[in-house]
Structures are given as C-alpha cells and as structure tokens.
Structure 1
Amino acid sequence: MKKLMTLALAAAMMLGAATGASAIDFKAKGQWIMSFDYGMHGNFSESKAKNNSGFKNEDEFEARQRVRLQLDAVASEALSGTVFFEIGDQIWGQDSTGGALGADGRVVELKRAYIDWMVPQTDLKVRMGIQGLALPSFTTNASQIFDDDVAAVSLNYQFNENVGLTAFWARPYNDNAGYKSSDAGSTKWDNYMDNMDMFAVLLPLTFDGVKVTPWVMYAAMGPGMFDNFEKAPGNAWGRASAGMISGFKGTDWNDSYGNAFWAGVTGEVTYWDPFRIAWDVNYGSASYEDQKMNREGWLASLLLEYKLDWATPGIYGWYGSGDDSNPRNGSERMPVVSANGNNDFSNFAFNGNPYIAREAVLGTTMVGTWGIGARLKDVSFLEDLKHTLRVNFMGGTNAPKMAKYVRDGYNEFASEWGNKRGINTYYGVGTNDPMYLTTEDYALEIGLTNTYKMYDNFTVMLDAAYVALWLDDSTSTWGKNPGRSALGGDGVYDAWNVNLSFVYSF
C-alpha cells in the first residue's frame, strides 16, 4: 500500500511539474541570410594582399552566411526571458569562421540574453541583461552615438498616451586591461578601475502628428580604462573606445579619469501627411585629465519626404563639427560610443545595409562630415518588387592642416602601425570614426537597392553601390600623392560592390 501511495504521489508531482511547464509559452524567431558580394577597392586603394579588391584584404568575390535564432520564454505579460544566438558571419571556405570543408568551426555567438518583468501593481517595465539599446533617431533610423548590444538595466514607463519615460544604466566595458606592471614598488593590478558606465534618460513625447524625444546621457570612465590601449588597439574594446578620444599623439593613456556627456532632441512631424519632416540634433563631449584626449562636437541631420502611392521621394542633409587646426586642444568631433545601427541614408558609404554585405567604406558614423542627398524610396510598379535609388554628395569638416597628423605619421597610431587611413581607424577597420576627411575632400555615392518578396517569409535583395572619392593633393593637405599619403596605397581608386542576398525570416 505504501508503495502504491508513493507511486501515486510521484505521479502527482510529475503531473504538477508538467502542468507548470505548460504555462510557459515558447516563441521562436529567426533569420537565415545567404549573401554573395562582388566588388573592388573597399578602402579606395590597392589591397595589401594584392587581390586588388581593397575590402580589408578580401577577395573580389566572396560568399557568406549568417543565422540568427531568438527564443522567448513567456510566462505572462509581466514576465518573460529571451536568448538570442547568432551563427556567423561565416565566409564560405574560411576555416576560422566555420565555412571551410568540414564546417566545424565554433562560431555560435550569444548576441542577447535578458529578462523582462513588470513591477507589480504598476506599469513600470524592466529589462535586465545583454540587450539591444539605442539612442533615438528619426532621420537615419540609427543613432550616430550609441546603437548596439550591451549589458544593461533599462526601465520604461508610460505616464499617458502623450508622455513616456525610458532610462537605463549600461556597462559597455569592464575588466579588459588584463596586465600587471610595477612602478616604484607599487603594483597595478589587472583590470583595476577600467570600467565604463553609462546612464541615460529619454522622454518620448507623442502628440497628434508630432513626435519629439529629448534625451541626455552621461558616461564615467575609470582611470584604468585605457591601460592596455597602446598594446591592443585592434581588439574589440580598443576599436570601440576609439570614438571616445581625440587620437592625437602625445596623449597620456594611463591614470586619466574620463567624463562624457551627450544631449539631443530628435523628432518628426507627420501632421501634413503624406508630407514628413524629421530631424536629429546631437551634442557630445568627452573630457580627460590630458586635454589632448578630449573630444567635443555636434551632429545635426534633416529629412524631408513625401509619400506617394508608388514611391517616397525625399531629400536630406547632415553636418557634423570637425577638428580645428590645433591638436593641442583635443578634437572637435562628436564622441561616439558605438554606432552599429543601419543608417538609412547610405547602404555602402556608411553602414546601412539591412542584411550582411560590404558596407561602411567611409566609416560607420557621419561625425566630422557633411552631406546632402536625394532618394527615391520603395518605388513599386509590380507587386512585391521594390526599388530604392540614392545619390549622396559629401565632404569632410576637419581643417586641412590636420591632414599632416595622418599624412606624416604624427598621429599616435599611424606612426606605430603604419595605418594612415584615418586618425581613429585601426588596422583598416573603420569603427566609430569615418575616414578622416578635410574641408577640401569630397565623395559621391550612388546606390540602387532592389528587393523582391518571393514568399511571405523569403526576400531576395540585389544591391549595387559606387563611391567616388576625391582627396586634395595640395602640399598643405595630403600632398602630391593623396592615395599614398592618406590611404597607405598607390593612389585613390573608386569603390564599388554588388551584393545578392537571399533572406528567410520567420
């Protein structure tokens, strides 16, 4: 009898566990991308690998793929958990990315992992963990200051239909220095005070035909944040933090506390629909004990567009402050944490491609540049087939005199690593800061994007883009051979690329 009672109790416990488990609703999302690129001169010069492509030593033709899988465990409207994995980018045939014969590379990445919950008896929403965060942007749809995955705690509260509030604390860097040194008998321990913490408050305001979001953000950087910067500027932490400093030679990386502040007002007016006006105005500063490390600047953009039945024509422009002719007072370019969003103004010159393709040949952000552009977006004469044509003309806002700090190796990093592409561009990787362009340098971008929705969940995209670059060859700027002086090559070559992508999303 006791055995029967024990078995019944065990069965009841198992049934209760199964009942509890069934209360969790699991939802899956995902995306597969197969991408094929063919192009040349992605860094506007001959490739060091002599493959004549210029895409950071890539071949002229390359095939790659990426898989993203997201799993949501939803207990209720008040509680859920999310894990988001990414496999790739895998270059076909490349062993290090798992694309070679055998395909056994360890390339599964944790992109996001967080929990969502609500404070009981309130409408306050809380998200904790590695998540996607971005400052607002109504023109480019991608913040030029901060738009990336980061470990953070974010809060969201909607007071009423007109006023909301979002706040977050994020920790993008900590424990990355990784070395010891002794100085006069004292020991500097690994990773001591090398953290960076960011705090932001956003106030989204929504009215009839008008949206406005003012915001502020502050960042505190410990004195050890740059301890290992000289030894490893090419790692992920070093490249990303590049947008927070001036990059001019003679700076003291060690024992320098840093404080950064940003503020902006972004918004759009759709009151006169189908006419739309959007704007972004951003300001930022980063200060250190050594003022040669300082950065302070602004970036503003404006978009005007009119939605028709068959397309949306639009014109837009932007302007970002640039360096003056004095390197001793730091940089006059706006500091950038990490701008990793899809810039709607450009698919190729900046990082605007919606899938995986060659992009950002000028850089990931528009700081230190100006530009005007026109586009004809989502042109459609046949069902499920759309086209977008863009033409952008742009230039730099940095003083021509500053070119010598790149041209002659006066930059802190250009002289040591031989990279003269731009003051804050390491190993040819343009993170956070675009190619260093002066007021005498110009570029032209032409791009055509075609998308065909073959099935409800399957899209084929054909994207073609071309960027021409003109660098000033006067002796006061880049010199007689601007390609060799500014790019480390044998001349300036126009960059172009054609991408064909097949995308399955669910």
Structure 2
Amino acid sequence: MKRILTIALVAVFALGAFASAQAATEVKMTGDAFVYGTFNANQNFTGWSTGSWDNNNGGYTGAGTQTEDRFQIWERFRLRTDFVANEAVKFRLGIKVQDTWGHGTFTAANPAVSIEVYQAFLQFKLPGCDIEVTAGLQDLSLPQTAFFTDSVVFGGDRAAALVVSSPLIPDTLAVTAGFARMLDKNRTYDTTTTQVADEFDVYFLTLPITLEGFKVTPWGALGVAGRDANYFTAGSYGPNSSFADSLLSAGTFLTPTGMRNAQNAYWWAGGTFEVTALDPIKLYADVIYGAGNQGDRKKDQRSGWFIDAGVEYTGWDVLTPQVFGWWSTGEDSSNRNGSERMPSILSNWGPGNSFLFDDSQELLKQGNMGVNPIGSYGIGASLNNISFIEKLSQRVTFVYLRGNNSPNAIRGLNALMGSNPYFTMGRDLTTNEYVMGANIDTTYQIYENLSAVMETGWAHGQFQTSVWGHRLAAKSREGDAWKLAAGLVYKF
C-alpha cells in the first residue's frame, strides 16, 4: 500500500513540478481518508446475496446463493489535485484507493494494485464572460432538492461529460446544458463489420431561478439508448443492481425478448421547489415524470411519476425537526403492457440519511438496504443536527414505506424466470408489503479536520411468500436487519 501511494504521489508532484516550470501553474491538493469497521446482520433482509446479472445477454444468478460476512474493515483514500493556471483555467485529477483490510490493496503480502481515477476534467471560463465549461470525468447530478440528498434519476456519481453553465440574470436566472456518454460497450470498433448501437447518451438542460424566499429549477433530460449497450453489467443504484433494472421494463424479458428498435429515446422532465420565505419554516418538493422506449413494442415501454415533499424547522440551535413523504407510480397487474414505474439511471435519493436508501451515508460501504424509492410511497421524520454537547452532533430518522407495485406483475416475472435480479425482495415492494427503518448517526469532531463517526441502522420488512417463494420470505422473518459502522474520517 505504501509503495502504491508513494508512486501515485510522486507522479502527481512530478506533474505539478513540470506544470509549474512551464506555466507557473499553482497546484492545490485536497482529499480525505476513511478507516471504519462495519457490522451487518441480515443484509438484504435475509443475510444472503441478491440476484446478479452475469453477462450482458441477460444471464443471471438467483438470490440466496451466498451468505453474508458480518464484519469487515474498510479503508478509502482519495486525493484531488487541481492544476490551476489562473482564475479561469484549471484541470483536476482525482485518484482513489478503496478496499477491505485483508483483500486487494490491503492484503498483507503482494497487494494488488488498485488505484482508480475517479475525476479527470478540464474546467475553464470563456474569455471575457462568466460562461464556464467543464469537460471530462466529473461528478454529475440532475436537479433535486438537497433535502433529499440527490437526484432519484441520476445523482451523486461520476460521468464522462461536457457541461456548460452560464448566468443569464445575475443572482436570479442561470442555465446549464450538458452531454454525458454513460455507456459505450465496444468503444472504437464494434466486434464485427456490422455496426451496432452500443452507446447510451444523455443530454440535459436546467434553468435555476432564484427569487427572494423562493427557488425553482425546471429541467429536462433526453437519453438515446442503444439496444446493444451493456445495461446488465454496468453498475447502477443499490446493491447488485444495474442499468437494466432501472431503465428497462419487465416486459423486456418476455418473448420476443429484448428491444425491437436499435435505438430508443428516454426522457425526463421535472422541477425542484424550495420555499424559504417562511423562514425558519422551509419547504421542499420535487415533481418528475419520465418515459422510455415509447416507440418500441408495448411490453418494452416504461413511464411513470415521482413526487416528494419535505418541511423543516430551522429556528432552534440544538436540533432541526424534519418531516417528509414521497409517492411514485408502480407496476400494474400485467407486464405485457410495459412498465408503469419511472425509469432512472443511478439514484442517490434519500431523506435523513435513511438506512433504507442509498443516499448520504458517510461510511457508505455496506451502509444501507438499497430499497428502491421508485414504485413505492412513504413517510418519515428526522431530528437533524442534534447538538447539545460541543463538537458532538447527531441525527435520528424513522421511515415507513409501502409498495405501489401489483403482486401479479412481480409474481408473473418470478414465475417465468425464477429468482432474478430485475425484481428483488426488499428492494421492490408490492402493494401488500411494507418496510420500516430507523437510523441514529453520530459525529464527534476530534480536531478541525478529524472526526469520529458512528452510523447505526435497523430495518424490518414484511414480504409475500406467494411472490418471492417460501425460501426467501421465510428467511426474512428470522430476524431484522441491523447495521453498526464506526470509524475515523480525515479531510484535508
């Protein structure tokens, strides 16, 4: 590990020294280091693995083939280096090392080299104006109120993209337009002399409007999905899920399988709303509609709504009470008429750092249950920013949700495919199922840049035997899911 990091740092400093010599480039470094242990019991509500896709042809391994290892120690190191030519031009390089103790990079002898580039982008302003261009591998999110962490469509992750931002009316109206290539299976050459549509591209436009006491951001996104992109094996939200789960309909797996068209359009339109005019009472909401494959066979189409809302009171110094809720369309009783759930790409949505969702966990590995907010509805409450003791802050959150999906839709696909990754028990809920969860998170600021963090979680679910089968449903009733994660976080 020391040898690997030394090589990486030498390379970064060498680049910085070269740049300084050539153009008086200023080098700025920031980063973070996490070391924490996680104890998880009954992950995926069973303690067994969920289903997973084995290849891009739709081959898969069913759920319940592996058992959990309840305790692991994770370590992550990230270094972000900005090469700043002047106020208008910079390049950022971000590298990351992440694994468990005793595995890969952190093996005692002959460690595997696993340095990952997670940011690499050029950012500059056009001469004589405030138009900013960012090109390269960067953090990217579609709009969503920060109350719910990040976007339920695509949020909080990296993408190779070109993004252009410009103010139109200072402090009032701006515009951001962008293009991202999410997937390109074959890169330069297709596998034969026959060209195939193996890319998935996304174009987006946002118009944030800020007025006194009110902010609204209308936005839209258009995706062009090639039939032969690697939707099954490219990662998406939550444990063991993929773009196939979040974009395609269940009807895709019915005969004739797959999409008919070489390319299909996906689109999303929405708005975010923040009202602070009633301060210290603040209101938040998001409304989104999305659709895809509308020109393909009826069974391959997918469309639906997602709505959330929250309110918080910020008038107290010692805590911030919050309440919230959401609603999303779910599957009807037939898979032959397509999907009624809103398509998504990569969700990073969740209120109150909830243990149920893949959202804002600081100790993120094995940090949540990966429940899908799309196709469900629920309510919750959080006591945020609890601070009665200096340097100690806490958060307590409780969430209850039910499914909006017809049992017949999930039961029908499970009858056809057996246990499969598209529908997962505990992640995708029927109208007869519910999940509830709570988390208590604590941060103690040891020094300005060093903190001790502890995150705890509990989840209980009720699942239908007739939908998931006796083996999985019975196993879920043997005990609730628990998480305890604790460690050190250093940010510099």
Counterpart of 1:285, as a letter, is A
CA distance in 2, matches of 1:372, 1:18: 53
Q: Who is 2:482 aligned against?
A: 496
Tell whether 2:91 aligns with 1:81. yes
Query: Secondary structure of 1:405's partner?
Result: helix
Counterpart of 2:158, as a letter, is D
> Relative to 1, partners in 2 of residues 1:291 and 1:121: Cα closer, same or farther, differing over 3 Å?
same
> Relative to 1, partners in 2 of residues 1:271 and 1:202: Cα closer, same or farther, differing over 3 Å?
same
Tell whether 2:116 aligns with 1:109. yes
Query: How far did residue 141 of structure 1 move?
Result: 2.2
Q: Do the aligned partners of 1:27 and 1:72 also contact (CA within 8 Å) in 2?
A: yes
> Relative to 1, partners in 2 of residues 1:492 and 1:144: Cα closer, same or farther, differing over 3 Å?
farther
Query: How far did residue 273 of structure 1 move?
Result: 1.4
Counterpart of 2:149, as a letter, is N
Question: Gapped runs of 5+ residues in structure 1?
Answer: 1-16, 182-186, 429-433
Q: Do the aligned partners of 2:190 and 2:196 also contact (CA within 8 Å) in 1?
A: no
Tell whether 2:458 aligns with 1:466. yes
CA distance in 1, matches of 2:66, 2:487: 21
Residues 436-481 of structure 1: CA deviation (Å, up to 9, x unaligned): 21111001101100111110000111111100001134x5x556x3
Q: Who is 2:341 aligned against?
A: 333
Query: How far did residue 56 of structure 1 move?
Result: 6.6
In the TM superposition, 1:92-491 aligns within 5 A as 92-94=101-103, 97-102=104-109, 104-138=111-145, 139-147=147-155, 148-159=157-168, 160-176=170-186, 189=194, 192-225=196-229, 233-236=232-235, 239-248=242-251, 249-250=253-254, 251-253=256-258, 256=261, 257-287=263-293, 289-307=296-314, 308-339=316-347, 341=348, 343-352=350-359, 353-363=361-371, 365-408=372-415, 410=416, 414-415=417-418, 418-419=419-420, 423-424=422-423, 435-473=427-465, 475=466, 477-478=467-468, 481=470, 484=471, 489=475, 491=477
Query: Secondary structure of 2:179's partner?
Result: strand
Seq. identity, %: 28
Query: Secondary structure of 2:409's partner?
Result: helix
TM-score (norm 2): 0.85
Q: Who is 1:3 aligned against?
A: none
Q: Who is 2:46 aligned against?
A: 45
In the TM superposition, 1:13-52 aligns within 5 A as 21=22, 23-47=24-48
Query: How far did residue 45 of structure 1 move?
Result: 1.3
Counterpart of 2:258, as a letter, is W
CA distance in 2, matches of 1:504, 1:359: 19
Query: Secondary structure of 2:159's partner?
Result: strand
CA distance in 2, matches of 1:18, 1:270: 45
Q: Who is 1:91 aligned against?
A: 100
Q: Do the aligned partners of 1:218 and 1:262 also contact (CA within 8 Å) in 2?
A: yes
Query: How far did residue 275 of structure 1 move?
Result: 0.9
CA distance in 2, matches of 1:302, 1:351: 18
CA distance in 2, matches of 1:332, 1:296: 5
Query: How far did residue 40 of structure 1 move?
Result: 0.6
Q: Do the aligned partners of 2:49 and 2:68 also contact (CA within 8 Å) in 1?
A: no
Query: Secondary structure of 1:373's partner?
Result: strand
Query: How far did residue 494 of structure 1 move?
Result: 1.4
Q: Do the aligned partners of 1:43 and 1:55 also contact (CA within 8 Å) in 2?
A: no
Counterpart of 1:324, as a letter, is D
Query: Secondary structure of 1:43's partner?
Result: helix
Counterpart of 2:437, as a letter, is E
CA distance in 1, matches of 2:79, 2:65: 28
> Relative to 1, partners in 2 of residues 1:80 and 1:124: Cα closer, same or farther, differing over 3 Å?
same
CA distance in 1, matches of 2:439, 2:449: 25
> Relative to 1, partners in 2 of residues 1:204 and 1:374: Cα closer, same or farther, differing over 3 Å?
same
Counterpart of 1:36, as a letter, is G
Q: Do the aligned partners of 1:224 and 1:255 also contact (CA within 8 Å) in 2?
A: no
Q: Do the aligned partners of 2:456 and 2:484 also contact (CA within 8 Å) in 1?
A: yes
Counterpart of 1:62, as a letter, is Q
Q: Do the aligned partners of 1:295 and 1:333 also contact (CA within 8 Å) in 2?
A: yes
Query: How far did residue 58 of structure 1 move?
Result: 3.6
More divergent stretch after superposition (151-160 vs 242-251): 242-251
Q: Do the aligned partners of 1:213 and 1:266 also contact (CA within 8 Å) in 2?
A: yes
Query: Secondary structure of 2:129's partner?
Result: coil
Query: Secondary structure of 1:493's partner?
Result: coil
> Relative to 1, partners in 2 of residues 1:19 and 1:296: Cα closer, same or farther, differing over 3 Å?
closer
> Relative to 1, partners in 2 of residues 1:490 and 1:466: Cα closer, same or farther, differing over 3 Å?
closer
CA distance in 2, matches of 1:103, 1:137: 44
Question: Gapped runs of 5+ residues in structure 2?
Answer: 1-17, 51-63
> Relative to 1, partners in 2 of residues 1:46 and 1:24: Cα closer, same or farther, differing over 3 Å?
closer
CA RMSD of aligned residues (A): 2.7
> Relative to 1, partners in 2 of residues 1:55 and 1:277: Cα closer, same or farther, differing over 3 Å?
farther
Q: Do the aligned partners of 2:49 and 2:65 also contact (CA within 8 Å) in 1?
A: no
> Relative to 1, partners in 2 of residues 1:478 and 1:193: Cα closer, same or farther, differing over 3 Å?
closer
> Relative to 1, partners in 2 of residues 1:275 and 1:380: Cα closer, same or farther, differing over 3 Å?
same
